[in-house]
Amino acid sequence: MTKGETQFAILGAKPKFDAPIPIGQLYFPSWKRYEAAFRGIFERQYYTNNGPLLTEFENKLQQFFGVKHAICVSSATLGLMMAVDAMGLSGKVILPSFTFIASAQSLSWAGIEPIFCDVDSVTHQISIDKLDALIDDQVTGIMGVNLWGGACDPLALERYAHSRGLKLYFDSAHAFGCTVGDIKIANFGSLEVFSFHATKILSATEGGCICTNDDGIAARLRSIRPSYGSANSITIPKVANSRMSEAQAAIGLLSLDDFPLNCQKNETLFRKYEEKLSAIPGVKLVKPKGVTSSNFQYVVCEINEDVYGISRDSLIAVLKAENVIARRYFYPGVHHSIEYQTNSLGNAEKLPITDSLCKSCIQLPIGAMVDSNIVEVICDTIDKSHRDLALLKAYFKEIDQ
Amino acid sequence: MIEKTNIIDLAIFGGNKLFVTPKSTSNLLQPDIENFLEYSKTFFEQQQYTNNGPNVKLLENRLAEFHQTRFCVTFSSGFWALAMAIRSLALKGRTEIIMPSLTYRRMADIAAWVNLKPNFCEVEPKSLAMSSATVRPCINENTALILGVHPIVNCCDSEDLVDIARKNNIPILFDSVESVYESISAGKVGGFGDAECFSLHACKLLNGFGGGYLTTNNEDLAIKLASMRSFGFVGVDKVGFPGGMNAKLNEMHAAMTLASLDDLESQVIRNRERYYAYKSLFNSILGIRLLEFDEKYRTGYKNIVVELLDGWPLSREDTIRILNEENILARAYYYPPLHQKPMGYPSVSANLPVTDILAEKYLNLPCGQRVNNNDITTIVEFLSFISLNAKLIAERLRKVETS
C-alpha cells in the first residue's frame, strides 16, 4: 500500500489531530477567574503560610469530604512522607507495587522499607489475601492505594489491619470525590493523602492534602508542615517544609467549585469510551470498582495481545503517531524501577499479576482537552488497528527487524 | 514622631500599639501585577501548569545568567533543594555534615531527612560567618559534606571555605538564601563550591509564593537534580535516578519569581534607602550597633541586624517583648542556636562557647517592602525612648511579673 492510501499516521497518513491530546485532566479556570483571584491575592499581599485562601480551601475541603481535618500541602508525595512521622511508622510498610512510584519513594525518604504486595487481576487493587505472607515483626503499617477512581476496599483493609495490630493509611491520589457507601474516601484508616496535581480532577497545579479524623495526627501534621509563628507547640521529630501557597489555594478553590461539572464531563466521556470500546475484541476497559460514585479521571484498558492482534506498546505507537498521547501506566512496575529492583525485600518476583498488568495496561486521554468527538476518533483508531491487523503487523515486524 | 511620652504609654503596659499593621522582618516583595499576569499568560495559553513548564525554563535561564553559572534548577522549596543537593553530593558511607549552629532553625532537620548527623561549627565573632578556621576542628573521617551557610548580613569567604573543602576532598554546598544579590572579592554568589541553594519564599529577596533554586557549574549534578525533583524520571516511564520525590516548581510560582526578578534592581535601591535611613539614625543611639554592609561589592541591603552592646540598658528578651507589643516584629538573630535545641535525631555533641555568646546579642529589625522611612524613624525613636527610660521600664516589668 502506498502512503496516500493508508489511514494510519504511523504508516504515513496525516495525523488525526494537529496538536497532541494529553492524557488529562488539566482542568483550569478561565483567564477571567484566574486574573480576579490573583488581583485579590496582590491586594491582600498575603502569599503563603496559612493565608486566608488556604484557610478557606481547607474549610471547604473538610465540608466536602465530611472529615474533621483537611491539611493542604505542596504535593501529595510530601503528604505521604509527612504521614510516616505523624503516624509513628517504622521498619517496613506494605503497599502495592501497582501504583505511582511516589507511593514507595515517600517511604524511602522517610527511612521505611517498602514491601510490595500483588494486586487483584480484576479490580487492580491490593490483594488483601496476600498480605499475611508479607507480614513480619518489622512491618508496622499498610499503605492502601485507591486506584483509577475506584477503591481498594478500605473497610476490609481496616478490619484486616486492626486484626493484625497494624496501622493503616491510604494513598488516595486518584480518588478525590469518590464515595464508598455513603462515606467519602478521606475518612478511612488513620489518614488519606490526595493529589492536586494538574493531571488530577482537583487541581492546584501542584499540591495535595492530608485528611484525618484524628486530632493528634492532625496536630502533628500541622507542626511538620510547619507554619511560622507560635502554632507549632507539638513536639515532632523534624519538619518537612510543604506549605501550600495562596496561589495554589486560589486554583484549588476554583477547581473545587468546578468539580461537579468536571466530574460530569469525565463521566460522559468515560461512558462514551465504554460504549465504543466494548465491541473491540481484546480491549477491556477497567471500570471504577468498589465505589458508589467515581470521579472517572482515568481511562485504563487492558490489551490482550492474543485477541486484539498487536501489542499494547504497538497500539501506543499507533496512537502517538495520531497525536494521541496514550501511556503505559503503570510501567514497568515500581518493583522493577532502578530504585527498587535491587531491594533486599526479595518478593519482587512474586508479583505475577502486577507484572502482567504492567505489560497490558494502556491509559487513554480524558479531561479538559478531550471531547466526545475526540473519544470517537481515538476509539475508531483502536478499532481500525484491530481490523487492519495485517498492515500494522507487517509494519511492526519490519521495524523489529 | 512617636506619641509616647510616659512609660505607661507602652503597649506592653496597656498603651496603644505604635503600629496598627505589624512591621515584620519579612521582605514581602510585591512585584507588578500586570507583569505577573503577562508571564501567567504564557503557561495559560500553552495549558501547561507545571512539570518543567515555559516559565520554569525561562526562570532557570534567567537565574543562571544572573548568578553567572552554567545551570540553575528550581524546586518547590529551598528546604528540599538543600535536602536533594546534600543527598546527591554527600560522600557515600560517611555520616556527618558540617554546618554552623547559628543559622536557619530548620537546618538540622534537613540533615535528618538525608540521614546525616549535624556536626555544628563556630562562626567568626566579627562577621558571624563560618570560616576555614571554624570548620577545621569539625573535619574528620566521617565528614560527608560541608554546608557553607552565609550569615544574613554580608557573606562567608566562600573561597576560603572551598579551599579547605578541596584540600580535604570533601564536597561543599552553599546555603546562600540570604545572599542572592551579593558578590565577594572572588565573584558573584552562586558559582562557588559544588552548588549553591536559594529560597523563593515570600520573606526572601525574590518572592515566588514559595520555592527554591540551585545554581551550579556541574552539569551531571544539574541533570540529576532536575530529574530527582520529578521522581527521578529521565524519560517517559523511565526512572534514571533513585531518591526522587516531587519538588517541582509550578508555573504560577515561576511567573511570580520572574516578575520579582524584573523588579530586583529597583528593589535593591529601595532596600539601600531603608538601610541608610537606619544607619543615619542609629548614629545617635548608644548601646546599639548596626551591622554594616560591605559596600565594596554588590549587596542587596535587605536585612537589618543590630548588636546590643554592653551599654544597652535592657535585656534582649525584654527589648524584643516591648518591641513586639508595639507591632514592631523584631526577632532574635537565629535563636536558639541549633546545638542548644532538643533534637529528635542524632547529632555530634557540640561545645560552642563563641556561638553561645553571639546567640544572645543580635536582633533583626523590621525591613522589607512594607517598611518606609517614616516607619524607620518611628522605630529608632522608639528604641531611643525605651533606652532613656530603661530603668523605669525594667522596674515596672518586674513588678508586673511578680504581681
- The pLDDT, as a whole number, for residue A6 is 83
Structural domain A31-254, CATH architecture: 3-Layer(aba) Sandwich (3.40)
3-state secondary structure chain B: CCCCCCHHHCHHHCCCCCCCCCECCCCCCCCCHHHHHHHHHHHHHHCCCCCCCHHHHHHHHHHHHHHCCCEEEEECCHHHHHHHHHHHHCCCCCCEEEEECCCCCCHHHHHHHCCCEEEEECCCCCCCCCCHHHHHHHCCCCEEEEEEECCCCCCCCHHHHHHHHHHCCCCEEEECCCCCCCEECCEECCCCCCEEEEECCCCCCCCCCCCEEEEECCHHHHHHHHHHCECCEEECCEECCCCCCECCCCHHHHHHHHHHHHCHHHHHHHHHHHHHHHHHHHCCCCCEEECCCCCCCCCCCCCEEEEECCCCCCCHHHHHHHHHHCCECCEECCCCCHHHCCCCCCCCCCCCHHHHHHCCCEEEECCCCCCCHHHHHHHHHHHHHHHHCHHHHHHHHHHHHHC
pLDDT at A325: 96
Sites in chain B below the pLDDT cut of 50: none
| Confidence at A2, pLDDT banded by 50, 70, 90 | very low
CB within 8 Å: A247 and B236: no
User: Minimal Cα–Cα distance from B21 to chain A, Å?
Assistant: 13
Does domain A3-23+259-400 bear CATH number 3.90.550.10? Answer: no
Give the integer Cα–Cα distance in Å for A223 and A73: 12
> Is the Cβ–Cβ distance between A145 and A95 less than 8 Å?
yes
CB contact under 8 A, A339 and B50: no
How big is the CA angle at B224 (ends B220 and B225), to the nearest 5 degrees?
Answer: 120
pLDDT at position A1, please? 42
**Overall average pLDDT of the A181-192 stretch:** 98
Residues of A in contact with B50 (CB under 8 A): 197-198, 205-206
Q: What is the mean pLDDT of residues A309-320?
A: 96
Q: Which residues contact B71 (CB under 8 A, 6 or more apart)?
A: B60, B64, B215, B216, B217, B218, B219, B221, B222
The residue in chain B having the minimum alpha-carbon distance to the alpha carbon of residue A243 is B210
Closest residue to B239, CB basis, from A198, A327, A337: A337
Which of A42, A75, A203 is opposite residue B246, by nearest beta carbon? A75
Going from the C-alpha of A40 to that of each of A37, A43, A44, B140, B204, the distances in angstroms are 5, 5, 6, 53, 21
Distance CA A161, CA B34 (A): 54
- B222 Cβ partners below 8 Å, 6+ apart? B70, B71, B72, B73, B216
- Would you call A206 and B50 a contact, using CB atoms and an 8 Å cutoff? yes
Are residues B49 and A105, on separate chains, in Cβ contact within 8 Å? no
Question: For residue B402, what pLDDT is reported?
Answer: 82
Look at residue A42 in the predicted model and tell me its pLDDT. 98
CA A246 to CA A240: how far, in whole Å? Answer: 19
Q: Cβ B345–A237 below 8 Å, yes or no?
A: yes
Alpha-carbon distances, residue A47 vs A50, A85, A257, B240, B301 (angstroms): 9, 27, 22, 35, 22
- A206:B239 CB<8 A: no
Instruction: Give residue A108's pLDDT band: very low, low, confident or very high (50, 70, 90).
Output: very high
- Give the Cα separation of A184 and A291 in Å (integer): 9
Interchain pair B244, A339: CB under 8 A: yes
B49: nearest CB among A28, A42, A331: A28
Any bridge partners for residue B75, and if so which? Answer: B212
Per-residue pLDDT reduced to its tens digit, A195-216: 999 999 999 999 999 999 999 9
Give the cell for residue A318: 499507533
Query: What tens digit of pLDDT does each residue of A138-179 get?
Result: 999 999 999 999 999 999 999 999 999 999 999 999 999 999
Cell of B23: 512591621
Least trusted range by pLDDT, from A5-19, A299-313, A331-345, B245-259: A331-345
Query: Within a 10 A sphere around the Cβ of B9, how many other Cβ atoms?
Result: 15
Contacts of A235 in chain B (CB under 8 A): 344
Contacts of B79 in chain A (CB under 8 A): 240-241
| Cα distance between residue A181 and residue A183, in whole Å | 6
* Burial class of A64 by CB neighbour count within 10 A (0 to 12, 13 to 18, 19+): middle
Which residues are paired to A300 by β-bridges? Answer: A363
Q: How does residue A231 score in pLDDT terms, banded at 50, 70 and 90?
A: low
pLDDT at B127: 97
- The CA distance from A238 to the nearest CA of chain B, in Å, is 5
Give the three-class secondary structure for A72: strand
- Tell me the domain boundaries of chain A: 3-23+259-400, 31-254
What is the per-residue pLDDT across A57-104, written as a single tens digit (0 to 9) for each? 999 999 999 999 999 999 999 999 999 999 999 999 999 999 999 999
Asked if the model's pLDDT at residue A4 lies above 50, the reply is no
Q: How far apart are CA A91 and CA A114, in angstroms?
A: 9
To the nearest whole Å, the CA of A185 is away from the closest chain B CA by: 23
Does the pTM exceed 0.90? yes
Which residue segments constitute the domains of chain B, with CATH numbers given? Answer: 7-29+263-402 (3.90.1150.10), 33-262 (3.40.640.10)
| b/e sequence A99-134, b meaning 16+ C-beta within 10 Å | bbbbbbbbbbbbebbbbbbbbbeebbbbbbebbeeb
Span of A238-247, A333-342, B155-164 with lowest mean pLDDT:
A333-342
Kindly tell me the number of DSSP H helices and DSSP E strands found in chain A: 12, 13
Q: Verify whether the Cβ–Cβ distance A49 to B202 is below 8 Å.
A: yes
